């Protein structure tokens, strides 16, 4: 088995930005997104990185990724307890798990190509991530009174 087969570009949802509108779960064609009364989470074992959930998310909270060994992927149960996203694993932490820098670059490039092809962008072109600026746009009609 190659080093790249052991790595995962795990899709995670930022609980600090998510407004719990259920758009991602309703859009996911493989049922990889679930929720409880606290958080929405992505099951790494089910997610096929099709990116169908990214465009409909009104806040960008779903546009987050963590590069990690597959055996250490965050379980849905663990993600349900988060108040904030965990930090990205450092190169040193990945090296402790026997992952080379080259393997990390390969996994990130594959994920970037998948994102570019699903959004119509160019490979290597970064997309705007509103979540990194704390942006939050509620769905239409949310919070308005009908007076």
Q: What is the pLDDT of residues 51-89, one digit of tens each?
A: 999 999 999 999 999 988 888 899 999 999 999 999 988
Q: How confident is the model at residue 3 (pLDDT cuts 50, 70, 90)?
A: very low
- Residue whose C-alpha is closest to residue 46's, from 64, 63, 25, 66: 25
What is the pTM for the complete model shown? 0.65
Residue 10 β-bridge partners: 66
Q: Measured between alpha carbons, how far apart are the two ends of the chain, in Å? A: 63
Give the pLDDT score at 142. Answer: 45
Please check whether residue 81 lies inside any domain of the structure.
yes
Q: Report the CATH number that the domain containing residue 51 is assigned in CATH.
A: 3.30.70.20
Please check whether residue 62 lies inside any domain of the structure.
yes
Domain that holds residue 35: 3-122
Please check whether residue 147 lies inside any domain of the structure.
no
Please check whether residue 12 lies inside any domain of the structure.
yes
Q: Contact at 8 Å (CB) between 24 and 53?
A: yes
Please check whether residue 68 lies inside any domain of the structure.
yes
Please check whether residue 14 lies inside any domain of the structure.
yes
Please check whether residue 13 lies inside any domain of the structure.
yes
Please check whether residue 36 lies inside any domain of the structure.
yes
């Amino acid at each position: 088995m190659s080093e790249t087969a052991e790595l995962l570009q795990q899709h995670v949802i930022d609980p600090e930005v998510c407004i719990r509108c259920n758009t991602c779960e309703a859009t996911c064609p493989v049922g990889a997104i679930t929720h409880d009364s606290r958080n929405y989470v992505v099951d790494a074992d089910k997610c096929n990185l099709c990116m169908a959930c990214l465009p409909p998310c009104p806040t960008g909270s779903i546009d987050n990724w963590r590069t990690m060994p597959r055996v250490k992927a965050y379980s849905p149960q663990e993600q349900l307890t988060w108040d904030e996203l965990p930090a990205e694993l450092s190169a040193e932490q990945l090296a402790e798990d026997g992952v080379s820098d080259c393997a990390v670059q390969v996994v990130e490039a594959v994920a970037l190509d998948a994102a570019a092809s699903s959004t119509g962008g160019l490979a290597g072109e970064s997309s705007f991530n509103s979540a990194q600026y704390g942006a939050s746009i509620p769905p239409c009609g949310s919070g308005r009174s009908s007076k």
